[in-house]
Amino acid sequence: MPLNLRRTPALGLVVLAVFAAGVAGGMAIARRHAQPATSAPPARPAAPVRPAPAPAPQPGQVVRIPRHSTFIAALAPYHLDPALAQRLVAIARPVYNLARVQAGHQLDLVRSPSGAPQALSYQIDSGHLLWLRAPAAAGTPAAWTAAIQTIPFVTKLVGVAGTVESSLFQAVEQAGEHDQLAVDFANIFGWDLDFYTDTRAGDVFRVLVEKRYRNGAFAGYGQIVAAEYVNAGHAYEALRFHDRHGFLTYYRPNGRPLKREFLRSPLKFDARISSGFSYHRWQPILKYYRPHLGTDFAAPTGTPVQALGAGVVIQAGYYGEDGKMVRLRHPGGYETVYLHLSRILVHLGERVAQGQRIGLVGMTGLATGPNLHFGIERYGKFMNFETLRKSLPPGRPVAPSLRAQFDAVRNRYLPMLNQLQPEAAVAAAPAGNR
């Protein structure tokens, strides 16, 4: 629509003024461009664009797994691509399940000079690292790799001694050691002593233990080589030795084992007995009475089940109403059975040690809830374990073929042990095996 200049005289004047100024400016620009090039200063060439310098190599970025965290969540400070984080979990799974990460353990990310993730390590325990490594050349189709690395240690055999005032833990801590040493020590003498009720003020402990060092710093305990506890004037002694099958066992100086033939329970921690041994027990699912030739321990699904004694796996699989089952054969005509497992951790023909994990509690087969049905028999006859465990058979002594080796171990370590005094609780010697 054309502007009505008559009705808006002020607006018309403004428009004409702007138009005139624009024409004048355009003519001035045209005159400047028409001048010869020599009248203007020479134009400077544009400065070349320099790429930004690559970032310097970054040291490892260490993160400790927070409490109640997952592997993926713990990676947050690294700002990794979520797809890469998920891929690392899948790549690691054949060698280690990263769903098992533990609070306080370390993650260490290494970046390339360009800042790209190059490697990631996770501290599995004091002796092992999981390494996830990127392809050697960036952009190659090769995938990340996963491997477990053993951390090299310097191991020293150290003597520790102390006097009990209130508890074994107090005595160990007062000697400058960690609680784990007290736990390991108590486990060795657990058949003879209850360290919660049997300790007396003035008791003395002595122990030769392997201590591990990495880069000069203490990195955990190895095995206890020899130990002694003097309780109310009576000395209990133990020597590390490996039995004829290669399993670690602790023996008295006379060659008899400290452990009995069988443990007191197929579960590491005592669980409630939900159903006992009976020749006439009501079956709640089948709704009739029948023999129940074992003991049911109520425990959550996934609770570890341990071998009651050293033996050989003669059955491992799914067996109808028994569900997933493991059967072990032990010396002396004994066999033990473990029913309703959610998972089996051993295979047919495998030789297992006393206390070794063989499965996890479940409710497979004919079961009303998660529990372990445990049975023990001798020469084909089932026995009441609740009665048997009050007088468990003794363990087997050192085999005659190994007696000379055992005597050499005893003669080597007992004098070292006896020389330890609570006031001078540190002695060092090269670590040795049997």
HSE-up of 300 (CA within 13 Å, CB side)?
Answer: 3
> Comparing 119 with 38, which gets the higher pLDDT?
119
Question: pLDDT at position 230, please?
Answer: 96
Model confidence at 173, pLDDT cuts 50, 70, 90, reads very high
Amino acid at 399: A
Report the alpha-carbon angle 214-219-220, nearest 5. 145
Give the residue among 198, 206, 102 at the shortest CA–CA distance from 159.
Answer: 206
DSSP secondary-structure letter at 349? T
Least confident span in 54-58, 149-153, 160-164: 54-58
- What is the b/e burial string over 183-207, where b = at least 16 CB atoms within 10 angstroms of the residue's CB? ebbbebbebebebeeebeeebbbbb
Question: pLDDT at position 281, please?
Answer: 59
Domains of the chain by range and CATH?
61-150 (3.10.450.350), 154-259+401-430 (3.10.450.350), 272-388 (2.70.70.10)
Q: Given CA atoms 187, 189, 191, 194 in this order, what sign does their dihedral have?
A: negative
What is the tens place of the pLDDT at every residue in 257-294? 998 888 888 998 767 787 777 665 556 665 656 677 78
Average the pLDDT over 364-380 and give the result. Answer: 90
Total residues belonging to the chain: 434
Question: pLDDT at position 100, please?
Answer: 86
Give the residue among 274, 336, 351, 261 at the shortest CA–CA distance from 305.
Answer: 336
Residue 219 contacts by C-beta under 8 Å, 6 or more apart in sequence?
126, 151, 153, 212, 213
> What is d(CA 283, CA 170) in angstroms, rounded to the nearest whole number?
50
Question: pLDDT at position 337, please?
Answer: 96
Average the pLDDT over 295-320 and give the result. Answer: 93
Model confidence at 211, pLDDT cuts 50, 70, 90, reads very high
Instruction: Check whether 21 has a pLDDT greater than 70.
Output: no
Give the residue among 208, 226, 222 at the shortest CA–CA distance from 154.
Answer: 222
Average the pLDDT over 151-156 and give the result. Answer: 88
Decide if 163 contacts 203 (C-beta within 8 A).
Answer: yes
Q: Is 271 helix (H, G, I), strand (E, B) or coil?
A: coil
Distances in whole angstroms, Cα of residue 350 to Cα of each of 70, 312, 314, 372, 424: 34, 6, 8, 21, 45
Helix spans in 6-132 (H): 9-34, 71-74, 82-92
What is the tens place of the pLDDT at every residue in 51-64? 443 333 344 578 88
Question: pLDDT at position 142, please?
Answer: 66
Average the pLDDT over 7-18 and give the result. Answer: 39
Beta strand pairing status for 248-251 and 234-242?
Answer: antiparallel
| pLDDT > 90 in the chain, percent | 49
Decide if 208 contacts 202 (C-beta within 8 A).
Answer: no
Average the pLDDT over 168-174 and give the result. Answer: 94
Instruction: Check whether 8 has a pLDDT greater than 60.
Output: no
What is the tens place of the pLDDT at every residue in 329-341? 998 899 999 999 9
Question: pLDDT at position 4, please?
Answer: 41
Decide if 101 contacts 123 (C-beta within 8 A).
Answer: no
Question: pLDDT at position 303, please?
Answer: 93
Give the residue among 132, 134, 117, 111 at the shortest CA–CA distance from 58.
Answer: 111
> What is d(CA 99, CA 114) in angstroms, rounded to the nearest whole number?
30
What is the tens place of the pLDDT at every residue in 215-257? 788 988 999 999 999 999 999 999 999 988 888 899 999 999 9
Question: pLDDT at position 419, please?
Answer: 94
Decide if 356 contacts 305 (C-beta within 8 A).
Answer: no
Give the residue among 225, 151, 234, 238 at the shortest CA–CA distance from 199.
Answer: 234
Structure tokens at 158: 């150290």
Instruction: Check whether 80 has a pLDDT greater than 70.
Output: yes
Model confidence at 20, pLDDT cuts 50, 70, 90, reads very low
pTM: 0.56
Question: pLDDT at position 270, please?
Answer: 64
Model confidence at 153, pLDDT cuts 50, 70, 90, reads confident
Instruction: Check whether 430 has a pLDDT greater than 70.
Output: no
Instruction: Check whether 40 has a pLDDT greater than 60.
Output: no
What's the start-to-end Cα distance of the chain, in Å? 109
Mean pLDDT over each residue of the chain, to the nearest integer: 81
Instruction: Check whether 318 has a pLDDT greater than 90.
Output: yes
Question: pLDDT at position 141, please?
Answer: 57
Question: pLDDT at position 214, please?
Answer: 80
Beta bridge partners of 63: 107
Model confidence at 143, pLDDT cuts 50, 70, 90, reads confident
Question: pLDDT at position 332, please?
Answer: 86
> Comparing 425 with 312, which gets the higher pLDDT?
312
Report the alpha-carbon angle 219-225-230, nearest 5. 110
